[in-house]
Amino acid sequence: MLRLEPSSTAVVLIDVQGKLAATMPAPRMHALQRAAAILGAAAPRLGAALMLTEQYPKGLGKTLEGVDRSFADADRFEKMSFSAWDCSEFQEALKARAPKSVVLLGMETHICVFQTARDLCGAGFEVLVPIDGVCSRQDDHYLAGLAECERAGARRTTSETVLFDWLRDAGTDEFRELSRLVR
């Protein structure tokens, strides 16, 4: 297992869009928004890349407003494929950034998140899926999606685990600034 280095990590937000978000269970959606806020704020401060995809925005709408603000500095990609890796612009941008690790947030866990995780693992990336940062309309689909991600080689984690692995030390200015995100 690799130690997470912000400078060699990309945080990818998958398809957190208005029409789709409206169908998600409120507690899981709230958790996803919180995870996106935490990692969306910490990543640029610590040197991790931010990327965001939107699945057919004409039909599913744009990224949710609050989440969109958290990922204001993200590279953005529109896609029709379920796996972000099948979007050539996304694939080229991720390869250019050359991260060792990719943290996946978004929806739905059992479709776009899983397919992206599987393909990224197959391409040699270490993939982390924060359980508080993904959701599906139904709990059984959420759980199946997490299991499929793990079978593909991704690690289950949480947004706070990612944050504190990046921070490593409570005596830094970054810790004092960013630990407020989880209080």
> d(Cα 59, Cα 82) in Å, to the nearest integer?
14
What per-residue confidence (pLDDT) applies to 114? Answer: 99
Q: State the Cα–Cα distance between residues 136 and 154, nearest whole angstrom.
A: 18
DSSP summary character for residue 82: S
In angstroms, the CA 108 to CA 60 distance is 13
pLDDT for residue 2 = 75
3-class secondary-structure state, position 87? coil
Predicted local confidence at residue 28, as pLDDT = 97
pLDDT, one tens digit for every residue, the chain (183 residues): 778 999 999 999 999 999 999 999 999 999 999 999 999 999 999 999 999 999 999 999 999 999 999 999 999 999 999 999 999 999 999 999 999 999 999 999 999 999 999 999 999 999 999 999 999 999 999 999 999 999 999 999 999 999 999 999 999 999 999 989 898
Which pLDDT belongs to residue 1?
77
- Predicted local confidence at residue 3, as pLDDT: 87
Is there a domain that residue 75 lies in? Answer: yes
HSE-up of residue 49 (Cα within 13 Å, Cβ side):
20
**Within-domain flag for 1:** no
The CATH number covering residue 18 comes to 3.40.50.850
Look up the domain containing 125 and give its range.
Answer: 6-182
Q: What is the pLDDT of residue 94?
A: 99
User: Which pLDDT does position 102 carry in this prediction?
Assistant: 99
Pairing of strands 75-79, 155-157: unpaired
Provide the 10 A C-beta neighbour count for residue 137: 15
Beta-carbon contacts of 47 under 8 Å, excluding residues fewer than 6 positions away, are 6, 7
User: What does DSSP say about strands 134-135 and 101-107: parallel, antiparallel, or unpaired?
Assistant: parallel
| Domain-embedded: residue 59 | yes
Structurally, the chain folds into a number of domains equal to 1
Tell me, yes or no, if the pTM score tops 0.75: yes
